[in-house]
Amino acid sequence: MMEEESVAYIGLGSNMGDRDSYLFQALKKLNHHPNISIACCSSIYETEPYGPVEQREFLNLAAEVHTSLSPESLLKVCQAIECSLGRKRDVHWGPRTIDLDILLYNKENIEKENLKVPHPELSKRLFVLTPLKEINAELIVPHINESIENLYKKLKSEEGVRIWRPNNGEGEFGLFES
């Protein structure tokens, strides 16, 4: 049983190899950590790549996690999972086996060299807002003081985010066959 749980939202993405397998493995690794439990996951969305690098489309999802870890410790776990799944940081905004971003942590504003929460690009990325909206549309983003729903409405005319596998509540995390 965890003490003093915090609620964090993590964005996951993959555009190399067996994309959905990387997402599943990352979710399993998060959920198997003794100080992290996944409360819910969004559907998986296929999205256009973000940034100037020519690459394959991404699969993205968001997960709400409950954790007794500090934001910095949660970041270390996320980076260790990325590393264990072959993530290389060769090209900024380049292709990746897996990407785990801490989008929100409680209602905190965190400004550190290696961690900024809310994620600085959250309000500009439909591929982040769409799965977050599915999980908790009324969630207020600290510092911006707007709901996920309102931020989504500002960008929803943009294209490039489409449902790839709905979360039907069946199988592991509602997304994968058990």
In the set 18, 20, 89, 99, the catalytic residue is: 99
Name the residue with higher pLDDT: 35 or 90.
Answer: 35
Q: Which domains does the chain have, with CATH numbers?
A: 6-165 (3.30.70.560)
- Is 99 assigned a catalytic role? yes
The pair of structure tokens assigned to 1 is 């049983």
- State the catalytic residue, choosing from 18, 20, 56, 87: 87
Catalytic residue among 56, 90, 96, 165: 96
pLDDT in tens, 110-149: 888 888 888 888 898 899 999 999 999 999 999 889 999 9
Is 162 an active-site residue?
no
Residue 165 annotated in active site: no
| Residue 87 known to be catalytic | yes
pTM listed for this prediction? 0.91
Q: Could you read off the pLDDT of 2-59 as tens digits, one per residue?
A: 468 999 999 999 999 999 999 999 999 999 999 999 999 999 999 887 666 677 899 9
